């Protein structure tokens, strides 16, 4: 089984560890597959504007540099640790109310997707790029209600068909509503700090290449969850 | 004012200790700079390297990989774990895959013969060791290619029974890890060199111990130390009693501490303090007296604040920063010079933590809780709730005072 984490932030957005050290942290811990998913924040409201102002967001301007850096590090990670690194972003639609906020991972992204376009456009663009779309922390999180992002879950009847998988577990939280609905799922750390390494993770029973990993998540067969603790 | 001058006198004692530590460290690090450490043995006896593993240490992959790149003709690596669910199992699997030509064995065996979890790991690993020379090496150390060649040359002398190494804290990226590395690179290294050079006390650091099977078996093997927390000290002491020399190699090994929290730093040194209190008894008091920074701050707490007491604390802090910086340079510890400014704060924390072993004999280590007794002998922690804690502390103090008298 491949030990995987598909939700990792670096100093390209609001993570505290730079990309190279993040790769080393996961490589040193024996991970097989990770995805780097820094925030791409919507800049159409004051919250998003602040994120752009303080460079806590991937933008069209720095996306090329971000991708080149990930590719370079991915090569090193494969050579040194035998670890597959997949580029991604976390589309971050932050609004003042949690009901209107939504975050989603775009895994194996090729071209930049802005967060300010509509949900339908984002999903279609992701499909066009053959990227995976994952709804992250879609439900109420423990003691972090100010960070809840409920829009996709509240509108699941409309959007579930576009979403390849849902985060059933994020860091220390588990959202059992996802399994009750029988949606495809994965578990991630939402890594921002070194201590977040120890959190919920996904185990995949597939070969270690990007297409096989995406297929495994999409079909949700051979997927298991593990609470990674030291 | 008398209190001030008494404390100033004790502070002076601590400063003399710092100077002696510098002299001792200089004598051990001189071969590093002269190139003497590059001498290799004439014969290369094969070595079994035993690596007890539990959990993910900082930089575990690189730590283990450094043992796959040793410049030594014949050695085997035995990684020992208690179960496959240990996250380190995945890492050793990757190491084995990456180095298919290396003689690597992964031993996964649940052994609970003793209370010391490290020894429980070593017992099954030792059973599979092929060679007469045994090297016990912790999972949080990283070594250079010439490490094994350098330390094994000491074993050519039949009077040598055990070789241990100086350690150097490296790679700190969080506050706790920086404090840990500062402490390792000042107090621990300084004390080990001081005790070995001036008091001729066998100082064994369990992170690297090279010995022969014959001597290990003569002292009863790993099973004889299975219930001791300081199994390294006991092994060194017993081999010394066999009439063999315990050698401290000047070859530095890197102890990687990257992302520690302050709590972990305090926990570790409280545990090590308890260990030294149980082993050293009254000698443990000299550690507090030797902490000149802590003593120099005492007048600020015990007396009304004056310019004289502020000057004492500031001067001693500056001296300690210079001391730690100098030793750090001697050890080639790769640390930002500005971080040495944290040294006095670290010493104040250590000074407060010094009192804990006198009040408590409970240790938490690798997820287990024990009561620690004389010579660091462990006994299971009685889970009886808070009510028994008070009397137990009183009993612990009484017991230690009784030992100190004997």
pLDDT tens per residue across span A10-60:
999 999 999 999 999 999 999 999 999 999 998 877 777 777 777 789 999
* Residue A82 contacts B, CB cutoff 8 Å: yes
Kindly report the backbone phi and psi dihedral angles of residue B397, in degrees, each rounded to the nearest multiple of 5, phi listed first: -65, -45
Mean pLDDT of chain A: 92
Inter-chain residue contact A28 with B61, CB threshold 8 Å:
yes
- Residues of B in CB contact (< 8 Å) with A are 55-56, 58-62, 87-88, 90-91, 93-94, 97-98, 173-174, 258-259, 261
pLDDT for B406:
41
Gap between the Cα atoms of B282 and B218, Å rounded? 31
Q: Is a pLDDT exceeding 80 seen at residue A136?
A: yes
Q: Per-residue pLDDT averaged across A221-229, rounded?
A: 94
Q: pLDDT tens digits, residue range B203-244?
A: 899 999 999 999 999 999 999 999 999 999 999 999 999 999
Contacts of B384 (CB under 8 A, 6+ apart): none
Q: pLDDT tens digits, residue range B173-187?
A: 999 999 999 999 999
* Of the partner residues B62, B97, B98, the one whose CB lies closest to the CB of residue A28: B62
More confident residue, B298 or B31: B298
Q: Is a pLDDT exceeding 60 seen at residue B361?
A: yes
pLDDT for B405:
45
Inter-chain residue contact A29 with B174, CB threshold 8 Å:
no
* Of the partner residues A21, A30, A194, the one whose CB lies closest to the CB of residue B91: A30
Neighbours of B156 (CB within 10 A): 11
Inter-chain residue contact B259 with A28, CB threshold 8 Å:
no
Phi-psi region of B354 (alpha: psi -120 to 50; beta: other; left: phi over 0): alpha
Look at chain B and count its residues.
Answer: 406
Instruction: Please name which of A122, A123, A103 lies closest in space to residue A38, comparing C-alpha atoms.
Output: A103
Task: Tell me which chain B residues have a C-beta less than 8 angstroms from the C-beta of A228.
Answer: 87
Percent of chain A with pLDDT over 90: 76
Q: pLDDT tens digits, residue range B366-400?
A: 777 889 998 889 998 876 655 455 556 666 665 66
Task: Tell me which chain A residues have a C-beta less than 8 angstroms from the C-beta of B261.
Answer: 195
pLDDT for A219:
94
Cα-based distances in Å from A29 to A88, A197, B352: 21, 9, 34
**ipTM for the predicted complex:** 0.89
Kindly list the catalytic residues of B: 232
Neighbours of B321 (CB within 10 A): 17
Q: pLDDT tens digits, residue range B243-276?
A: 999 999 989 999 999 998 999 999 999 999 999 9
Q: Collapsing DSSP states into helix, strand and coil, what is residue B78?
A: strand
Q: Is a pLDDT exceeding 70 seen at residue B194?
A: yes
pLDDT for B381:
83
Q: Which chain A residue shows the shortest CA-CA distance from B60?
A: A28
CA distance B68 to chain A (A): 14
Strands B160-170 and B245-256: parallel
Q: pLDDT tens digits, residue range A159-181?
A: 999 999 999 999 999 998 888 88
Inter-chain residue contact B94 with A81, CB threshold 8 Å:
yes
Task: Tell me which chain B residues have a C-beta less than 8 angstroms from the C-beta of A229.
Answer: 87
Percent of chain B with pLDDT over 70: 91
Burial (Cβ within 10 Å: 0-12, 13-18, ≥19) of residue A75? exposed
Task: Tell me which chain A residues have a C-beta less than 8 angstroms from the C-beta of B55.
Answer: 230
């Amino acid at each position: 089984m491949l030990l995987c984490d598909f939700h990792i932030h670096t100093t390209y957005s609001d993570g505290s560890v730079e990309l190279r050290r993040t790769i080393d942290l996961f490589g040193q811990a024996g991970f097989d597959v990770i995805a780097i998913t820094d925030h791409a924040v919507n800049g159409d409201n004051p919250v998003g504007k602040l994120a752009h102002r303080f460079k806590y967001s991937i933008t069209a301007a720095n996306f090329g540099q971000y991708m080149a850096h990930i590719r370079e590090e991915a090569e090193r990670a494969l050579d040194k640790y035998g670890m597959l690194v997949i580029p991604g972003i976390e589309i971050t639609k932050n609004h003042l109310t949690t009901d209107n906020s939504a975050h989603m991972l775009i895994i194996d992204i090729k071209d930049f997707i802005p967060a300010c376009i509509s949900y339908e456009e984002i999903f279609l663009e992701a499909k066009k790029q053959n990227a995976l779309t994952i709804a992250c922390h879609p439900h109420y999180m423990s003691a972090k209600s100010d960070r809840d992002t409920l829009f996709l879950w509240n509108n699941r009847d409309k959007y579930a068909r576009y979403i390849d998988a849902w985060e059933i577990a994020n860091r220390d939280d588990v959202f059992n509503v996802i399994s009750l609905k029988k949606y495809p799922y994965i578990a991630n750390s939402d890594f921002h700090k070194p201590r977040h390494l120890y959190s919920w993770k996904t185990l995949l029973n597939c070969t270690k290449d990007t297409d096989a990993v995406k297929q495994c998540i999409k079909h949700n067969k051979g997927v298991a969850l593990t609470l990674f603790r030291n | 004012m008398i209190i001030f001058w008494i404390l100033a006198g004790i502070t002076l004692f601590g400063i003399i200790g710092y100077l002696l530590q510098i002299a001792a460290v200089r004598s051990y690090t001189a071969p590093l700079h002269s190139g003497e450490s590059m001498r290799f043995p004439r014969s290369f006896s094969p070595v079994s390297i035993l690596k007890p593993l539990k959990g993910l240490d900082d930089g575990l992959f690189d730590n283990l990989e450094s043992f796959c790149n040793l410049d030594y003709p014949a050695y085997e690596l035995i990684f020992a774990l208690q179960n496959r669910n240990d996250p380190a199992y995945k890492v050793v699997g990757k190491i084995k895959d990456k180095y298919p030509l290396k003689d690597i064995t992964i031993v996964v065996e649940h052994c609970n013969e003793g209370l010391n979890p490290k020894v429980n790991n070593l017992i099954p690993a030792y059973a599979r060791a092929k060679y007469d020379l045994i090297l016990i090496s912790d999972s949080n150390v990283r070594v250079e290619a010439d490490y094994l060649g350098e330390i094994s040359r000491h074993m050519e002398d039949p009077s040598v029974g055990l070789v241990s190494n100086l350690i150097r804290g490296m790679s700190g990226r969080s506050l706790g890890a920086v404090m840990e590395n500062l402490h390792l690179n000042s107090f621990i290294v300084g004390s080990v060199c001081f005790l070995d050079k001036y008091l001729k006390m066998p100082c064994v650091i369990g992170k690297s111990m090279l010995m022969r099977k014959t001597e290990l078996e003569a002292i009863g093997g790993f099973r004889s130390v299975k219930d001791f927390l300081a199994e390294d000290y006991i092994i060194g002491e017993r081999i010394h009693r066999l009439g063999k020399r315990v050698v401290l190699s000047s070859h530095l090994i890197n102890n990687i501490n990257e992302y520690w929290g302050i709590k972990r730093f305090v926990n570790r040194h409280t545990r090590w303090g308890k260990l030294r209190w149980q082993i050293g008894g009254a000698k443990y008091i000299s550690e507090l007296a030797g902490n000149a920074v802590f003593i120099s701050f005492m007048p600020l707490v015990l007396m009304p604040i004056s310019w004289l007491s502020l000057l004492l604390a500031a001067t001693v802090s500056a001296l300690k920063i210079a001391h730690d910086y100098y030793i750090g340079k001697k050890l080639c510890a790769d640390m930002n010079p500005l971080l040495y400014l944290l040294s006095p704060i670290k010493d104040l924390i250590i000074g407060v933590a010094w009192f804990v072993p006198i009040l408590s004999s409970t240790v938490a280590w690798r997820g287990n809780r024990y009561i620690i007794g004389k010579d660091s002998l462990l006994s299971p922690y009685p889970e009886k709730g808070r009510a028994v804690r008070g009397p137990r502390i009183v009993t612990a103090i009484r017991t230690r005072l009784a030992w100190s008298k004997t």
